[in-house]
């Protein structure tokens, strides 16, 4: 029997995809594909475009960024977002009412993602900061010591002013990725953006591989998990369309957890440590993963303290070894940890401390003078205390089985994203990858859909947000309630 060639295998996959496209199951996929095309087209004028774009000028399309052209681009882009949200909710309703296969989710992901691979950055300008930080390392600077402003080039022109003086808050693995991208593309912003987006694809592939495996491991649905944490517009539009390194971090973290659940501990901790070396948030999962290793050692007959010592020593050794190798490869130290505090520059309603400070300022200011920044400092300190107290308690509470491990990681990430000094929409993809396996009831899925819709709509395609514009807030809230209600109600049985 001959082994099928790669080309024949690819042809088989394409034939299967064409067959899927002709079925009723593909209708949400095709609607979302149309939405993604509209987003890509509208992004040329209304997305997070370059400050000066000679490509648009050479194509005589600069008019898309101003006046009536900007209005047209915005309508096109927001129309595409609406279609993708409708397609996602439509697919979710079908999934809850009749069930869907994992292949349907995978094929739909391909349809929705393909057009966005060619889009400008969407809803964020972070990709320009990534490239500028990679160029720092490329040009002999330490991105953990100096900000992009110390290395004037074409990339710097597109970095948000607030981040030009900020040192990189990302781990050595991602700084290496950014460096290699700029080595390949130079200071070409468009080529750098496209290559950097391609570098996020392994993260998406790992999440697609890991999410259903984690779900099936605890007796949940792999298809539902994919709908929650892969097809979610926060992932497709924000992480892939916006080119965020969360895509790499979340994919690596989920893959590490899946490997640990399959009792491949060394591989699992290596992969999870690489996730931490992309972004520190993945480190929240590691202490909970140690409990899985401890339970496996206990099953082999080791005593409790011996199992704890072996698992703790093994995980720490792997973490230190992998991190040392990556840091040496990048030629950097641990300075990125001090840059994590840079998020305090962000002020919006997406975390509890900042929301409380905003409400106190808005309501209290009606009756007496309020020093907003003093209140904000106090609420943020309280948030840090809540995180510091909660994490050890969660780690000890959720230690008994693999499902509890997931619940603990999910709660830890939710507590952090809610009580850190500041957050952005894509931060909420951190817990999504975890709760996708444990929050699969209809009420839970409906709540996730409503919240994801609100987060998706509240931000603007150019990277700004509408949280201080009441019309925008009301519109986002109406959309969120509609999404929640659509998935919450069950399909009525057909009369015989």
> Which helix or strand (DSSP H or E) is residue 134 part of?
helix 126-138
The pLDDT profile of the chain, 496 residues, written as one tens digit per residue, is 445 566 667 777 778 888 888 888 889 999 999 999 999 998 888 777 766 666 666 666 666 677 777 888 889 999 999 999 999 999 999 999 888 899 999 999 999 999 999 998 888 888 999 999 999 999 989 898 888 888 888 888 888 888 888 888 899 999 999 999 999 998 888 899 999 999 999 999 999 999 999 999 999 999 999 999 999 999 999 999 989 999 999 999 999 999 999 999 999 999 999 999 999 999 999 999 999 999 999 999 889 999 999 999 999 999 999 999 999 998 887 777 766 666 667 777 788 998 898 888 888 877 777 788 888 889 999 999 999 999 999 999 999 899 999 999 999 999 999 999 888 888 999 999 899 999 999 999 999 999 999 999 988 887 777 777 888 889 999 999 999 999 988 665 544 3
Q: What is d(CA 167, CA 338) in angstroms, rounded to the nearest whole number?
A: 9
Helix/strand/coil for 405: helix
Torsion of CA 291, 297, 300, 305, to 10 degrees: -100
What are the φ/ψ torsions at residue 231 (nearest 5 degrees)?
-80, -10
Q: Which is nearest to 432 in space by CA: 443, 420, 449, 422? A: 449
Query: What token pair was written down for 391?
Result: 């994490």
CB burial class (10 A; 0-12, 13-18, 19+) of residue 227?
buried
Cβ-count burial 421-438 (b if 16+ within 10 Å, e if not): bbbbbbbbbbbbbbbbbb
Q: In sequence order, what E strands does 440-487 have?
A: none
DSSP assignment of 188-227 equals -HHHHHHHHHHHHHHHHHHHHHHHHHHHHHTT--HHHHHH
- Classify residue 243 as left (phi > 0), alpha (psi -120 to 50) or beta: left
Query: For the chain, how many residues are written?
Result: 496
Q: What is d(CA 267, CA 444) in angstroms, rounded to the nearest whole number?
A: 32
The pTM (predicted TM-score) of the whole model is 0.91
Q: What is d(CA 21, CA 190) in angstroms, rounded to the nearest whole number?
A: 32
């Amino acid at each position: 029997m001959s082994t099928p060639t790669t080309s024949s295998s690819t042809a088989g996959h394409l034939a299967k995809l064409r067959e899927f496209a002709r079925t009723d199951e593909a209708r949400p996929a095709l609607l979302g594909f149309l939405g993604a095309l509209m987003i890509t087209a509208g992004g040329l004028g209304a997305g997070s475009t370059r400050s000066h774009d000679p490509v648009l000028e050479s194509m005589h399309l600069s008019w898309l960024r101003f006046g009536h052209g900007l209005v047209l681009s915005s309508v096109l882009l927001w129309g595409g977002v609406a279609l993708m949200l409708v397609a996602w909710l439509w697919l979710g309703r079908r999934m809850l009412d009749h069930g869907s296969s994992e292949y349907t989710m995978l094929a739909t992901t391909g349809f929705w993602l393909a057009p966005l691979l060619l889009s400008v950055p969407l809803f964020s300008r972070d990709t320009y900061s990534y490239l500028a930080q990679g160029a720092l390392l490329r040009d002999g600077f330490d991105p953990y010591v100096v900000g992009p402003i110390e290395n004037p080039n074409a990339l710097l022109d597109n970095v948000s002013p607030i981040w030009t003086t900020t040192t990189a808050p990302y781990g050595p693995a991602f700084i290496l990725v950014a460096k290699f991208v700029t080595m390949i593309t130079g200071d070409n912003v468009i080529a750098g953006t496209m290559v950097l987006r391609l570098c996020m694809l392994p993260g998406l592939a790992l999440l697609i591989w890991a999410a259903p495996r984690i779900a099936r491991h605890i007796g949940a649905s792999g298809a539902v998990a994919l709908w929650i944490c892969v097809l979610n517009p926060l992932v497709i539009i924000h992480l892939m369309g916006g080119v965020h390194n969360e895509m790499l971090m979340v994919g690596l973290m989920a893959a590490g957890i899946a490997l640990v659940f399959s009792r491949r501990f060394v591989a699992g901790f290596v992969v999870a440590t690489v996730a931490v070396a992309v972004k520190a948030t993945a480190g929240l999962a590691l202490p909970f993963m140690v409990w899985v290793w401890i339970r496996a050692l206990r099953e082999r007959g080791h005593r409790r303290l011996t199992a704890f010592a072996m698992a703790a020593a093994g995980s720490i050794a792997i973490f230190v070894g992998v991190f040392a190798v990556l840091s040496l490869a990048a030629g950097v130290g641990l300075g990125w940890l001090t840059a994590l505090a840079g998020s305090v520059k962000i002020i919006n309603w997406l975390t509890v401390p900042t929301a409380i400070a905003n409400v106190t300022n808005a309501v209290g200011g009606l009756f007496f003078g309020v020093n907003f920044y003093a209140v904000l400092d106090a609420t943020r300190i309280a948030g840090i205390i809540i995180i510091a107290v909660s994490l050890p308690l969660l780690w000890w509470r959720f230690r008994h089985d693999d499902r509890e491990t997931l619940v603990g990681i999910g709660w830890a990430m939710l507590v952090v994203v809610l009580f850190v000094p500041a957050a952005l929409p894509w931060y909420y993809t951190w817990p999504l990858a975890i709760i996708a396996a444990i929050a699969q009831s209809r009420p839970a899925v409906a709540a996730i859909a409503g919240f994801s819709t609100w987060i998706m709509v509240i931000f603007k395609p150019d990277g700004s947000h509408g949280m201080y514009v009441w019309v925008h807030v009301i519109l986002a809230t109406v959309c969120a309630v509609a999404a929640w209600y659509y998935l919450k109600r069950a399909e009525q049985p057909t009369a015989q």
